[in-house]
Amino acid sequence: MPEVGLYYYTLGITVGIWMILVMGQNIITGYAGQISLGHAAFFGVGAYASAVLSTTYGVVFWLALPASVLITAVVGALLGSVSLRLRHDFLAITTIGINFVVVSVFLYSEYFGGSLGIGGIPLPRAMGVVFTKPLYLGLVVAALGLAAAADRLLKRSWLGLSLEAIREEETAAAASGLNVSALKITAFAVGTGYAGLAGSLYAHFMTFISPHDFAFPVSITILCMAVLGGLGTLRGALVGALLLGLAPELFRFLRDYRMLTYGALLVLLMRYLPSGLLGDASPLWQRLITRPRGVRGGVAYGGAVDPPGL
Amino acid sequence: MIGFWQQLINGVTVGSTYALIALGLAMVYGVLRILHIAHAGVFTLGAYVGLVLHARTASLPTAFLGAMLACGVAGVLIQRWLYRPLLNQPRIVPLIASIGLFIFMEDLFRLLAGPYVLAFRLDAEVRPLEIAGAAVTGVQVMTLIVTAVLLGAVWLLVGKTWLGLGWRAAAQDLGMAAAVGVNAHRVVALNFAFGSAVAGAAGVLIGALYNAVYPTMGSVPAYKALAVIVLGGLGNVWGTVVAGVLLGLVETFLVGIVGGLLPRDSIAFVALILMLLFRPTGLFGER
Amino acid sequence: MRSTLGRLTVMAALLMVVVAVPAALGQVPTIKIGFFAPLTGPAAPDGTSSRNGAQMAVDEINAAGGVLGRPLGLVVYDDRLSASEAVAIAHRLIERDRVVAVVAGSYSGPTRATAPIFQSAGIPTVAAYAVHPDITKAGDYVFRNSFLGTIQGKAGAYLAARILNAKTASILVMDIDFGRALASGFRTQAAAYGLRIVSEDTYPLGEKEFAPLLTKIKGLNPDVIYATAYFAEAAQIVRQAKALGITSRIIGQEGYDSPKFLELAGPAAEGVIITTNLNRDDTRPVAQQFLGRYKARFGIDADMVGASSYDAVRIIAAAIEKAGVVSPPRIRDQIYRIANFDGVTGIIRGYNKLGEVLKTVQVQIVREGRFRYFAVIDDPAVITPPTE
């Protein structure tokens, strides 16, 4: 029988996975300033790693998950080391290319199930309990919490500070003795590791995956989420993923005009609020942080109280 | 060796359409350093305008000129309204705006013209040829001729006129160009107009070549043209043209000889990644 | 502050209108049937055809008095061809819209992702044209109204070897599950008939440039080219083959079955033969009425996708009528009992225990720019679907 609320659990899980993905994108693009348009490729690497490990080799979820994070991070570090040779726009276009090539590899090799994808990916179990939707949401929330904590740690540590130095001025950072190369590679490894985590969670939630799930448009969505929320901030990553992750559902009432609205929204936002909703330079965020606390209690400054019901 | 000549002609035709789409993109990148994804939306606009005009007037030149005009105007509008205010923002801002505009345009075409593929049949109007035993369709002949004419026009404009001088100055340094008396905004606008008009012509050609005009026809060119402009050395117009034609040839011969090892559309990116490993500034160097 | 609050109020009021108005209008409670398809993006043409077919069936049934005296309501969602979006839609259909049955008007990816969800919720689901074999394996609530790819592939080999007496064949494989399944069915049955396969090449979905592959095939000069494709790719294949002067007969499948194929391929389509489940020369009134009404309403000739979605709705409606109550398990039981149903896509003999349809394969040929009757395949060795 249908349990009421599975719809909300599903939305929660989906948004949670988006949030982890966008956090990873934010580390690479927001903190380290490297434009990557291929994040979905790493999402796919994580998902396929986890799927192959658990279906072909019978590895349990609790091992497959960290293993796929590790595998993805290693692949990401490799990309990071290649990216050192490339300037901004070359890197952006190359990452698009990586997305296409990775999807082609999934599509054209029997090992990865080819165009049929991989099915029968088991749900996680622990002590005889199968992680169906409510429990799986708990798992995603836990992963999300860990990822967010790691993000804070990263940002506060010397790594976070120096990554920002790279973004601001590469040569100056190099001159001041920071090892720019090592930092960039670390950013790529960590950011893609997040994508690997999201991929593993996605694979075991959907229980089947196919190459199309990780195609270039998914990368665009992830990047848009990060920029919409406000690049370079954790809150921006989370809010961007929440809003655009729910957008397909929120915009349903628009029916035939949904994608049109989505495109228009991106254009208008970049045109009039280029630092995203909650970026450090966003007027909206400035307003939010400078407004006196009293407002929340219903008493506005200046003595003017809004009439109720208006 | 019928197969060889046939594949050569196939490859050059496909390659020249890549060159035309990428040419406009390279021109835009040359002066503004923006990855203009919505260029592919302009290209699709050209295909639809050409299709409608051809259906109304039955005149091929009208279809081409109308499409080029419409796309030129669209390009200028995009530059004026969207990109100009974003020039001082981080590069990711115009990039996302451009992606958003492309999504918007694709869906607008779907709403206006319907989701179905529309036929754009010109087979009857242009005569096929046979060269060395290889069949060349009329539309292929037309593609080669139009490409040659447009490339010639670009060559004249860039190399022989004050406009070209302005472009080159702007490509070097926008601020500097303004300082020495070049009207930078007008130069950039003309650049957009011309690059978009070429994309419009490419839209008509590809619509006719594959007899198919549809809302998402720009998706593949959107990213393949990016690969082509990198292969040609970002912003290097002639490098881009050569890279486009070469890519068409490589794709055709690889698929024809080796078969489908990888999807044809990912060959561009495999080439791109290989090249960047060995020549990080493109086949012909960056300008 | 004031304006923000004001705007919020207006929005909330609007939202309430949107939610409340439809609820107030429904006098007799409608029987809700869920539907999802890719209505935007690259697969929008098929999604739109599918929705058109399903909506037309619902409207016709309602015009004739509905089912059990109640009107049918089609709850339509756009899945954008995304499996994860389809999963959310499935839960929404089950929990919020409380549909009693579902027509899946999407491709294999979204349909396969949602099948286990409808199965575990006990909602009978008919996949209109998705071909992945795993879909019906989700369980006893999931049915398929189109042929499995492998069956159509076998039918293609039967057509080539037994009807056209071909000795050699080249295969073009579209690299998605549909193309792969077709090619594997063709290969198996070709071996049984002694049909020699001289080449097999793969191309990606959305490919437009086939000249490199076709030039190679021209050199091999096979009797037939078994080209798996959807209509857009199919039109390019036959046009480019014609332009290259290839004389081998091209055999297609239901993916070609669209007026758009005929329009895009033009004269090059002449003589192309396809296996499908819609016979344009079918004299049964149900088929001729459907073809006429569809054209009149949507301004475009009906295709197999629309026809199959139309049938899917009618089968569900017939099952509800027979069940006598609006109860998902009873509807499922009645779908299993359907026999010799007069569908637009042929006489549906029934569904096997896996939920796979049993019907004859139609063979159509393009003559003077139209699909015409060529043959029908009812050899049990070809058309019997697998039971596991």
Amino acid (1-letter code) at residue A217: P
Across the interface, whether the CB atoms of A206 and C84 are under 8 A apart is answered yes
pLDDT in tens, C108-142: 889 999 999 999 999 999 999 998 888 999 999 99
Q: Which chains touch A (3 or more CB pairs under 8 A)?
A: B, C
User: Which chain A residue has its CA at the smallest distance from B234's CA?
Assistant: A90
Counting as low any pLDDT under 50, the low residues of chain A are 1-3, 294-310
Q: What is the pLDDT of residues B215-257, one digit of tens each?
A: 999 988 888 898 898 888 877 788 899 999 999 999 888 887 7
Q: What is the pLDDT of residue B125?
A: 65
Question: What is the pLDDT, as a whole number, of residue A306?
Answer: 37
A250-254, A268-272, B179-183, B193-197: least confidently modelled range: B179-183
Mean pLDDT for chain B overall: 85
Contacts 24+ apart (CB under 8 A), A299-303: A300/C1
Q: Does C91 touch chain A (CB under 8 A)?
A: yes
Q: What is the mean pLDDT of residues C233-255?
A: 93
Q: Which of A174-183, A188-197, B66-75, B103-112 has the lowest mean pLDDT?
A: A174-183
Query: Rounded CA gap, B109 and C317, in Å?
Result: 36
Give buried/exposed letters for A78-109 (b at 16+ CB in 10 A, else e): ebbebbeebebbbbbbbbbbbbbbbbbbbbbe
Q: Is the pLDDT of residue C212 over 70?
A: yes
Which residues, 6 or more positions from A126, have their beta carbon under 8 angstroms from its beta carbon? A62
Q: Which chain B residues are within 8 Å of C218, Cβ to Cβ? A: 3, 6
Three-state DSSP state, C281: coil
Looking at per-residue pLDDT, the higher value among C211 and A255 belongs to C211
**Residue B185's CB: how many other CB atoms inside 10 A?**
14
- Split at pLDDT 50, 70, 90, the class of B271 is confident
ipTM for the predicted complex = 0.85
Interface of C with B (CB under 8 A): 39-42, 44-45, 47-48, 175, 201-204, 206-209, 211-213, 215-216, 218-219, 231-232, 235-236, 239, 243-245, 260, 263-266, 300
A132 touches chain C (CB under 8 A): no
Q: Which pLDDT does position A41 carry in this prediction?
A: 96
* DSSP assignment of C288-304: HHHHHHHHHHHSS---H
What's the confidence (pLDDT) of residue B74?
Answer: 96
For range B4-23, the mean pLDDT: 89
pTM, to two decimals: 0.85
Higher pLDDT, C19 or A8: A8
Contacts of C39 in chain B (CB under 8 A): 115
Q: Which residues on A lie below 8 Å from B35 (Cβ)? A: 89, 92-93
Residue bearing the bigger pLDDT, C217 or A296? C217
Residue B178 — pLDDT band, cuts 50, 70, 90?
A: low
Distance CA C81, CA A103 (A): 16
Rounded to the nearest integer, the mean pLDDT of chain C is 90
- The first and second tokens of residue A203, run together, are 């694979």
pLDDT at C242 over 60: yes
| Least confident residue range of A159-173, B144-158, C211-225 | A159-173
pLDDT in tens, C154-206: 999 999 999 999 999 999 999 888 898 899 999 999 999 999 999 999 888 88
Q: Verify whether the Cβ–Cβ distance B6 to C211 is below 8 Å.
A: yes
Distance CA C126, CA C309 (A): 9
A308 interface with C at CB cutoff 8 Å? no
Among residues A221, A228, A226, the alpha carbon closest in space to that of A282 is found at A228
Q: Does B220 touch chain A (CB under 8 A)?
A: no
Q: How confident is the model at residue B155 (pLDDT cuts 50, 70, 90)?
A: confident
Which contacts of C216-220 are long-range, i.e. CB under 8 A and separated by 24 or more positions? C216/B3, C216/B256, C216/B257, C216/B259, C217/C170, C217/C172, C217/C246, C217/C248, C218/B3, C218/B6, C218/C244, C218/C245, C218/C246, C219/B2, C219/B3, C220/C168, C220/C170
Residues of B in contact with C216 (CB under 8 A): 3, 256-257, 259
Quick check: C83 and A309 CB within 8 A?
no
- C251 against B5, higher pLDDT: C251
Q: E strands along chain C, which residues? A: 31-37, 72-78, 101-104, 125-127, 142-144, 168-174, 196-203, 224-227, 249-252, 273-276, 341-343, 346-348, 350-351, 357-358, 361-367, 370-377
- In angstroms, the separation between the Cα of residue A146 and the nearest Cα of chain B is 28
Q: Do C218 and B256 touch (CB under 8 A)?
A: no
From chain A residues 188-207, the ones with a CB under 8 A of any chain C CB are: 202, 206-207
- CA C3, CA C25: separation in Å to the nearest integer? 33
The Cα A236–Cα A226 span in angstroms is: 7
**B102 interfaces chain A, CB cutoff of 8 Å:** yes
- The alpha-carbon radius of gyration of chain B (Å, integer) is 19
Sign, CA dihedral C150-C153-C159-C165, equals: negative
Q: Which residue matches tokens 């998402």?
A: B216
User: B229: which chain A residues are within 8 Å (Cβ-Cβ)?
Assistant: 93
Most confident of B74-88, B127-141, B268-282, C314-328: C314-328
Long-range CB pairs of C320-324 (<8 Å, 24+ gap) are C320/C31, C320/C67, C320/C68, C320/C100, C320/C101, C321/C67, C321/C68, C324/C68
More confident residue, C309 or A306: C309
Which whole-number Å values give the CA distances from C338 to C125, C186, C322, in the listed order? 15, 29, 10
